[in-house]
Amino acid sequence: MPQITVGEYTIEVVRKNIKNLHLGVYPPAGRIRLAVPQQLDDETIRLHIVSKLGWIKKAIAQFEQAERLSKLEYITGESHYLEGKRYLLNVISDAGVNKIELRGNTYIDLYEKPGTDFGHRSIMMQEWYRVRLKVRVEPLLTKWQEIIGVQINDWAIKQMKTRWGTCNIGAKRIWINLELAKKPEECLEYIIVHELVHLLEKHHNDNFRALMDKHMPDWRVRKDRLNKSPLSHEEWEY
Ligand SMILES: [Zn+2]
């Protein structure tokens, strides 16, 4: 993915068959992405970015504020997401083992021994997410390796700031973002198919999109759902 650095910002530049430039700031970590028409030269792109620096700065500030507002405290009554659904956290002091359990469609019960330090709750939740995500990923990888006709050597769940997934083509290794534990099945499945298709096509080009269309005709809908509500975006005429 080509990148352009302007001042303190790194902007991903994606060339597409479009007429307008499209600038967006996206989750999970406020990544900045600029879609540009295929033939636009680098200097023009750079000038456009410079002219939008004020806007970028404001969008990033909004993003950081939203991050602060959504800072999790792991206290009873707080909303937490699992597999695309919202649950309420319920912290229970219990002399037995530390554990987390789902209760119906409403609660995530977190049992902890009295005196357990506060930061421990977030670690427990991350591990719980990791175990649940692993169980979802395994059958999807098996299924889609067979359908697409590729084989990976290794895969892992990682905490990543700017990518939902990565594919190391040489090592045939796929990493899945732990955050996907919170997302619906259709979104997780899209990322798995996307990363596996990279074993056939490195770049996000027409061939890549054709392979995606072939194996997962509704991938665009899934992708939009995953990245929906970019925090800010804007389009302008070129
Ligand atoms: Zn990709």
Distance between Cα 27 and ligand 1 center (Å): 16
Distance from Cα 62 to the centre of ligand 1, integer Å: 27
How much is the pLDDT for 69? 64
Distance 212 CA to ligand 1 centre (A): 11
pLDDT at 70: 65
Predicted confidence band of residue 2 (pLDDT cuts 50, 70, 90): confident
Instruction: State the distance from the centre of ligand 1 to the C-alpha of 60, rounded, in angstroms.
Output: 24
So what's the pLDDT on residue 15?
92
* CATH C-level class of 79-200: alpha beta
pLDDT reading at 232 higher than 50: no
Q: Kindly list the distances between the CA atom of residue 238 and the CA atoms of 16, 20, 32, 207, 233, in Å, as whole numbers in the listed order.
A: 13, 5, 19, 26, 16
CA distance 19 to 26: 21
- Residue 184 Cα, ligand 1 centroid: separation in angstroms? 19
Q: What is the mean pLDDT of residues 48-68?
A: 82
| CA 202 to centroid of ligand 1, rounded, Å | 8
C-beta separation of 44 from 143 below 8 A: no
pLDDT 10s digits, 147-204 = 999 999 999 999 887 789 999 999 999 999 999 999 999 999 999 999 999 999 999 9
What's the pLDDT score for residue 95? 85
Rounded to the nearest whole angstrom, what is the distance from the C-alpha of residue 112 to the centroid of ligand 1? 40
Q: How many A from CA of 37 to the centre of ligand 1? A: 19
**H or E stretch at 165:** strand 165-168
Beta bridge partners of 232: 25
> For residue range 171-181, what is the model confidence (pLDDT) as tens digits?
999 999 999 99
Measured in Å, residue 196 CA sits from the centre of ligand 1 at 9
Q: What is the whole-number distance in angstroms between the Cα of residue 201 and the centre of ligand 1? A: 9
Residue 235 Cα to ligand 1 midpoint, Å, equals 23
Mean pLDDT, the chain, whole residue set: 89
DSSP 81: E
User: What average pLDDT does range 36-50 have in this prediction?
Assistant: 90
Q: What is the pTM of this model?
A: 0.70
CA atoms within 13 A on the CB side of 156: 8
Residue 190 CA to ligand 1 centre (angstroms): 11
Give me ligand 1 centre to Cα 25, in Å.
18
Q: How far is the CA of 1 from the centre of ligand 1 (A)?
A: 9
> Which has the higher per-residue pLDDT, 166 or 25?
166
Q: Is 148 helix (H, G, I), strand (E, B) or coil?
A: helix
Give ranges for CATH 3.30.2010 in the chain.
79-200
pLDDT class for 8, splitting at 50, 70, 90? confident
d(CA 50, ligand 1 centre) in Å: 27
- Answer whether residue 27 shows pLDDT above 80: no
